[in-house]
Amino acid sequence: MSEPLPKTFLWGNSTSSMQTEGGVTEGGKGQSVYDVRPATDTTSDWRVAIDEYHRFEEDFDWMQQAGMTCYRFQISWSRVCPTGDGEFNEAGLAFYERQIAALLARGITPMICLYHFDMPLSLAKRYNGFMSRHVVDAFVRFAKVVIARFAAKVPYWLTFNEQNLYFTSGAFDIAGYLKGPRSLQDLYTINHHVMVAHARVANYLHATTTAQIGGMLAYEECYPATSNPRDAWYARQIDEFLNHNLLEMFVHGHYSSAVLQHAKQWQLTIDITPEDLAEFSQLRSDFFAFSYYRSHLIDSSRVPVNTPVNDYLDYGMVANPYTQANEWGWNIDPLGFRDILTTVYSRYHLPMFPIENGLGIREESTGDTEVQDDYRIAYHRAHIQALKDAVTQDGVDVLGYLGWGLIDIPSSSGNMDKRYGMVYVNRTNHDLRDLRRVPKKSFAWFQQVIASNGARLD
């Protein structure tokens, strides 16, 4: 048995509303952009998910039985404010009030995320999502109501899930953007508007509560594919544009100089107002949150000439022959996890909080037998050990470790076959079955890890 982690270390689970709740027509909920997406041959629709709307007490019991001490979940904007910018829905607020009370009763610290890709459909149709300043104002209005209602009981807050994704081509799929050329100009506009919204909400929370808030990134370690200096340079640029650009803002209140110069070279207009600068000047973060699943390689020879840095990975990402990967090509690289923890902490000296980590694997069961998921145990063991090495050998301050979807949920694409959980949910993409929860082999292993506060990983 090795040394345990600090006594204040948090262990837990992380999810989003659309991947858990279901109940899309219940309790006065308005439609989000996800609610109208149809099922496909390989994905489910979003009408039921894992029926958390009716079953959260049962799932919180599983979390408590595992020994978890933190749960990061999302407040659905369209459940709380059905049109996004109209009247608030008391039934929606009361639903989350019941969830928070149920978590606290089980000794589980709640952590709230305010936006996880599911823009209210009305705002997407009328304003094209975060392309519009009106939507920024509407989000801040929504956030203020939620903070005022819950901050006394919720110590940890996030604005946007994986905020750096709004600076990649994927931004157009998660920002409520329904029409337009998907241009580089539109990408920079969305990225800036999302950052303005984050700053305004973070500043409001700090001014009115004692709760803590941090920015969150989807952090993927990027290595050069070869010893070609250009590959190394592209990897460094990717890290600067997709990660440190926002970290500089979260910590120091300004964008990366390299990003601003890039925008100038591409003749892009960043809609920065004096009011934005005033908000940025007050911005601070209490911790840095991130998801980590995989690393990747960049092959600069695959990137066309005159490609903006934001799109490098769309052309140049290649598989790493030195790491294993699942069937969707997501590789396993715990050393990359340690490197992120150590490098970012050494540069910014902000407490680190990995709040998503996990391995998606196709698993089939009738719900009657225990899934023997030794591969998941091996994945989490290696990543927790990497975290412990960052703490004990590199001096990193880490607040906790939250796994992703530790009770099975549909993946971000809606694929129920890609399972991350330590508890099996008995449904498929197109057959809801009975939605029964059945612990996998990894559940008992995780109990042991938490009970020993990370000392026992065998």
Residues with catalytic annotation? 162, 356
Give rounded-to-5 percent helix, strand, coil for the chain. 45, 15, 40
Q: Residue 178: phi, psi to the nearest 5?
A: -105, -15
**Alpha carbon distances (Å) from 236 to 171, 226, 239, 248, 347:** 21, 14, 5, 15, 15
Three-state secondary-structure class, residue 399: coil
Q: Which two tokens stand for residue 163?
A: 């905020």
Q: How far apart are CA 349 and CA 395, in angstroms?
A: 10
Q: How many Å apart are CA 265 and CA 259, to the nearest integer?
A: 10
Judged by phi (left if over 0) then psi (alpha if -120 to 50, else beta), residue 395 lies in left
Cα–Cα distance measured from residue 214 to residue 21, given in angstroms and rounded to the nearest whole number: 25
Element at 205 (helix H, strand E)? helix 184-208
Query: Looking up tokens 């207009």, which residue turns up?
Result: 269
> 3-state DSSP call for residue 289?
strand
